[in-house]
Structure 1
Amino acid sequence: MDFPDDLTTGQRIRLLRESRGMSREMLASMCGRGSDWLKKIESGERQLRNNGLILRLAAALQITDASLITGADSNVSQPVQVGRLHHPGMPPIWDAVMNRRLSAARPDAPVDVAALQGRVDQTWILWHTSGQNRTEVMKLLPALIRDTEAAVRSLDGTERRAALVAQSDVYRLTGQATAYVAPAELAWVVADRALAAAQDADQPAAIAAAAWNMGNILRETSYPEEALRVVTEAADLIRPHLDEAPADWRGVYGALQLHAAVTAARDGRSGDAWRYWGAGDQVAKSLPASYVHPSTVFGRANVDFHQVSVAVDLRTARQALSVADDIDPDAMPSVERRARLWVEVARGHLQRGDHTAALHVMQIAHQIGAETVEFTPSALTAVTDLWQSAPRALRPEAAQLAEKIGLREAG
């Protein structure tokens, strides 16, 4: 980016952050700081003089020269080693999404919508069961995007509505698989298409699931109030159908409650966060103990996992770790969610200053789901904190983990 020479450091940081679709909270957390700290930096209320923090901001913003933050006349113009928040699978997905064909030919053979939905469902299963889930799922998404688009164009009536549900599911999965690695514009397009397809299908459960996905984008781009509005409106839409609806409708309703709980917790709203979490807990109690929603993995284990996340986001580490002590991670069939649980536990240990325990559980998280750690900002922040702040005896192990996820070069 080319900046006017008269921009302050804070103004440069804000423009870089917004150009990447990052919320203030996300960027601050990747630097081990709170959103209030970054707000003061961006507004000019507080000066940024710590070279280490400047370099961490540059790495988090994925820029290779710190002078983009400080200005060319500053003393900090050294190259920056950026983390691995990029993925080689993005270009084909970008092409499938952003170079959408407006007049593509219809399929030569009749479309089997049930088989198409089956492919989508199997790809969701792969997302939740593979330790290299991003890489494996991103290979399949371009074809699925084009095939569901072609199906919607070639069908009508009931079959077209079924194809629209499959299309919405594909775009939701695309949002999940490209989170934190997709350019902001693609993330917004994908979320909007998922919601539009579900609305065209006029299927309340699909609309609710797409709203859950849209809420993720809104929350991660610093629109917490809008995220809460979207998920609560979706919950209101599906609630009247719950008594006689299939279990998966209740599952997505519960997922909306957990989404709202995390959104409120990140905004520091303890009462609202626990109220939403309690609503999700009640939904889980109404479902069979073994129930798991196929895409959001809502169920008993996920509710318990979210209890840890909410407590960590509210910075009540003692409560989070106490809850985690009673959780059986293997009860969660999703590898991705199991890895994220250990990341949350590590965050709790870091809040209490226990670097030894935090390093141990981050190593477990990486063993379970390497790509979950490599491509999740909160995990990258935790590893960075360990690498830079762990006791001397632990630094070689912390540096080795940082090397594995691309935060430092070998040797």
Structure 2
Amino acid sequence: MDIPGDLSIPEDLAVGERIKVLRESRGMSRTVLAGLCGRGSDWLKKIESGQRDLDSHTLLMRLAAALQLSDLSLITGGAPEIAQPVPLGRLTHPGMPAIWSAVMNRVIAPQQQPVSVVALQARIDQAWQLWHTSGHQRTEVSALLPSLIREADGAARALEGEDRRAAHVALSDVYRLTGQATAYVAPAELAWVVADRALSAAQMADHPAAIAAAAWNMGNILRETAYPEEALRVVTEAADLIRPHLSTAPDDWRGIYGALQLHAAVTSARDGRDGDAWRYWDAGDQVAKSLPISYVHPSTVFGRANVDFHQVSVEVDLKHSRQALNVADDLDPDVMPSLERRARLWVEVARGHMQRGDRTAALHVMQKAREISIETLAYTPSARTVASDLWRQAPRSMRAETAQLAEAVGVSTAG
């Protein structure tokens, strides 16, 4: 369903004003529309009045679906002859059915065959490494996850004593990896089950670093489903939990503590809180300085390079595009061992160029990101948004290239 035939939306209206016009044309209250998006009416009031930006691709799609729109450009604006189709469902990936079965169809009886938790943890560690080193990380890791989930779940119930604790750490690790590999493609109920099981398993192990890592994962789910306050609470509480151990802790404990600080920095930046964002980023920067220059956390890839990459993200989220691009100019992306994270850096740089209206530069760096990891672009909402915006706004001379990029990442150019 599109807008009623007698309703005309002026081209100069901001996003929030467009949402208000569309909502009122449907006869919907703020409370009803906000509730359909999983938010409160005060949140929607701030969006409609322009007091708060709507940067979440997920929430844009929820609003479009709740308003029964088939074209996202009715909310975002843009040339009327270029449609922005609203998908009928979430992104999909062929690995999801098997993962769904492994997560949701748990075996109740304890595992009978002997389990080596050391060997199991080694396989999980290898899967994490694959996530960071493959350009098709979702496809390759998703193929490994069903058996890892079942074996880790069985080990956590079959083993005793210290082996049982170690098995719960392994189980938490594999559920965290599942959360990464299914982000933006998992149904909401699966995403929450996976995040909760990762945290519960870490708590069963009574392992502060595992709890902190699971909280980092939970924070991702909360932030990406538009609960920034809850995300910030989870990661700061986890940081408080692990902080007393830092003076004598292994490097990886400090690494996850630093990752929590960077998470809080981005969460604050997306909410427009400059001071908090830089305070958390500075804390992460100090942790990186306390670690060996070559240190990289095995799952979050926290380290010197990731701190610098997050500086770009924070600047972009705060709409400081010039500063973001200046920082990016001084970075060497190749020092980051994670291809997934390296590709996301180029997406952030592209966002900075788009904020400045430089579509040529944005297209160039998006092509670099595509060469590094096409699956990162295809399954990351911010990358898909850049690809869509590039195609919609491209001058005639760039139409073919931007259309090719959009199609490569799964953004429809029909209509």
Q: When the two structures are superposed, what TM-score results if normalisation uses the length of structure 1?
A: 0.84
**Is the contact made by 2:110 and 2:157 (CA closer than 8 Å) also made in structure 1?**
no
Offset of residue 50 of structure 1: 11
Which of residues 99, 104, 112 is equivalent to 1:107?
Answer: 112
Mapped to 2, the partners of 1:152 and 1:83 lie a distance apart of 35
Q: Which residue of 1 aligns with 2:311?
A: 307
Which of residues 226, 233, 242 is equivalent to 2:230?
Answer: 226
Are residues 196 and 81 of structure 1, via their aligned partners in 2, closer, same or farther at CA, if it must alter by over 3 Å?
closer
SS in 2 for 1:243: coil
Structure 1: gaps of 5 or more residues? 58-76
Which of residues 149, 162, 170 is equivalent to 1:166?
Answer: 170
**Is the contact made by 1:231 and 1:260 (CA closer than 8 Å) also made in structure 2?**
yes
Pairing 1:9-408 to 2, within 5 Å after superposition: 14=34, 17-18=37-38, 34-35=53-54, 53-54=73-74, 85-101=91-107, 103-108=108-113, 110-408=114-412
Mapped to 2, the partners of 1:96 and 1:50 lie a distance apart of 34
Offset of residue 134 of structure 1: 0.3
Equivalent position amino acid for 2:191 in 1? A
SS in 1 for 2:247: helix
Which portions of structure 1, spanning 4 or more consecutive aligned residues, are displaced by more than 2 angstroms?
5-19, 36-43, 47-52, 54-57, 77-84, 408-411
Equivalent position amino acid for 2:211 in 1? I
Structure 2: gaps of 5 or more residues? 1-24, 78-82
Offset of residue 226 of structure 1: 1.1
Equivalent position amino acid for 1:362 in 2? M
Mapped to 2, the partners of 1:49 and 1:202 lie a distance apart of 48
Equivalent position amino acid for 1:104 in 2? A
Offset of residue 237 of structure 1: 0.7
Mapped to 2, the partners of 1:205 and 1:125 lie a distance apart of 19
Q: When the two structures are superposed, what TM-score results if normalisation uses the length of structure 2?
A: 0.83
Mapped to 2, the partners of 1:48 and 1:198 lie a distance apart of 41
Percent identical residues: 69
Are residues 330 and 150 of structure 1, via their aligned partners in 2, closer, same or farther at CA, if it must alter by over 3 Å?
same
Are residues 162 and 49 of structure 1, via their aligned partners in 2, closer, same or farther at CA, if it must alter by over 3 Å?
closer
Are residues 272 and 200 of structure 1, via their aligned partners in 2, closer, same or farther at CA, if it must alter by over 3 Å?
same
**Is the contact made by 1:41 and 1:48 (CA closer than 8 Å) also made in structure 2?**
no
Are residues 359 and 16 of structure 1, via their aligned partners in 2, closer, same or farther at CA, if it must alter by over 3 Å?
farther
Are residues 232 and 392 of structure 1, via their aligned partners in 2, closer, same or farther at CA, if it must alter by over 3 Å?
same
Mapped to 2, the partners of 1:128 and 1:78 lie a distance apart of 31
Mapped to 2, the partners of 1:55 and 1:277 lie a distance apart of 33
**Is the contact made by 1:208 and 1:235 (CA closer than 8 Å) also made in structure 2?**
yes
Mapped to 2, the partners of 1:81 and 1:162 lie a distance apart of 42
Offset of residue 268 of structure 1: 0.2
Mapped to 1, the partners of 2:143 and 2:60 lie a distance apart of 42
**Is the contact made by 1:84 and 1:374 (CA closer than 8 Å) also made in structure 2?**
no
Are residues 323 and 169 of structure 1, via their aligned partners in 2, closer, same or farther at CA, if it must alter by over 3 Å?
same
Mapped to 2, the partners of 1:51 and 1:164 lie a distance apart of 46
Note the alpha carbon deviations across 1:311-347, whole angstroms, 9 max, x for none: 0000000000000000000010000000000000000
Offset of residue 78 of structure 1: 11
Q: Which residue of 2 aligns with 1:65?
A: none
Offset of residue 18 of structure 1: 4.1
Are residues 296 and 13 of structure 1, via their aligned partners in 2, closer, same or farther at CA, if it must alter by over 3 Å?
same
Are residues 337 and 80 of structure 1, via their aligned partners in 2, closer, same or farther at CA, if it must alter by over 3 Å?
closer
Q: CA RMSD in A?
A: 3.3
Are residues 80 and 212 of structure 1, via their aligned partners in 2, closer, same or farther at CA, if it must alter by over 3 Å?
closer
Are residues 184 and 37 of structure 1, via their aligned partners in 2, closer, same or farther at CA, if it must alter by over 3 Å?
closer
Equivalent position amino acid for 2:53 in 1? G
Mapped to 2, the partners of 1:78 and 1:366 lie a distance apart of 21
Mapped to 2, the partners of 1:83 and 1:365 lie a distance apart of 26
Mapped to 2, the partners of 1:148 and 1:119 lie a distance apart of 11
**Is the contact made by 1:89 and 1:135 (CA closer than 8 Å) also made in structure 2?**
yes
Mapped to 1, the partners of 2:138 and 2:76 lie a distance apart of 25
Offset of residue 56 of structure 1: 7.5
Offset of residue 37 of structure 1: 11
SS in 2 for 1:245: coil
Offset of residue 100 of structure 1: 1.7
Equivalent position amino acid for 2:102 in 1? A
How many residues align? The count is 374
Are residues 16 and 132 of structure 1, via their aligned partners in 2, closer, same or farther at CA, if it must alter by over 3 Å?
farther
Equivalent position amino acid for 1:92 in 2? A
